[in-house]
């Protein structure tokens, strides 16, 4: 009888494990490219600074760390012209974001950052990253 209970328990355990197993065709966790990691790190730090949750850095400090001086000047102009945060491209702060690879060429790669808003809407912002040193030297609204 002990053998039967043990066998039944073993069969039940195997059946349960089979139900919980991840199918072979399930997607593995996505590995971000170096450029995506750079944009993700920038955006995360910028969001934390914009929320006032980083005692050591302001949003401008984060921009200085990750962006070229020329891009910083362009973003200052964007802010004045649009009366909106030049990185978020809005007057409020997104609830979340994701990145995806947008292509490479001429020593740069494009990273598409999708901002997720509390309303359920999304905004895409395209980043250009220098491949040689991963400095962000372009940031623009998604092409129409």
Here the CATH number for the domain that contains residue 39 is: 3.10.450.50
- Answer whether 112's CB lies under 8 Å from 100's CB: yes
The rounded mean pLDDT for the chain is: 84
Q: Into how many domains does the chain fold?
A: 1
Q: Convert the pLDDT of each residue in 45-83 to its tens digit.
A: 999 999 999 889 999 999 999 999 999 999 999 999 999
Q: In whole angstroms, give the CA distance from residue 11 to residue 6.
A: 9
Q: Poorest-confidence range of 3-7, 31-35, 131-135?
A: 3-7
In a domain, 24, yes or no: no
pTM attached to this predicted model: 0.78
In a domain, 72, yes or no: yes
State the pLDDT at residue 30: 66
3 state SS for 6-53: HHHHHHHHHHHHHHHCCCCCCCCCCCCCHHHHHHHHHHHHHHHHHCCC
Q: Could you give phi then psi for residue 76, rounded to 5 degrees? A: -60, -45
- Answer whether 104's CB lies under 8 Å from 39's CB: no
Q: Residue 109's domain spans which residues?
A: 32-141
In a domain, 17, yes or no: no
Side-chain-side CA neighbours of residue 137 (13 Å)? 11
Q: In whole angstroms, give the CA distance from residue 12 to residue 18.
A: 10
Say if residue 88's pLDDT is above 70: yes
In a domain, 102, yes or no: yes
In a domain, 9, yes or no: no
In a domain, 46, yes or no: yes
């Amino acid at each position: 009888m002990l053998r039967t209970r043990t066998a039944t328990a073993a069969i039940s355990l195997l059946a349960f494990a089979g139900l919980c197993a991840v199918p072979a065709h399930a997607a593995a966790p996505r590995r971000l490219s170096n450029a995506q990691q750079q944009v993700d790190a920038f955006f995360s730090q910028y969001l934390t600074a914009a929320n006032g949750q980083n005692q050591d850095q302001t949003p401008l400090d984060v921009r200085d760390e990750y962006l070229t001086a020329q891009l910083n000047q362009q973003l200052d102009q964007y802010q004045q012209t649009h009366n909106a945060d030049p990185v978020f491209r809005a007057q409020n702060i997104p609830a979340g974001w994701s990145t995806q690879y947008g292509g490479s060429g001429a020593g740069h790669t494009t990273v598409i950052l999708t901002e997720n808003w509390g309303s359920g809407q999304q905004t895409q912002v395209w980043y250009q990253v220098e491949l040689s040193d991963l400095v962000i030297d372009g940031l623009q609204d998604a092409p129409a």
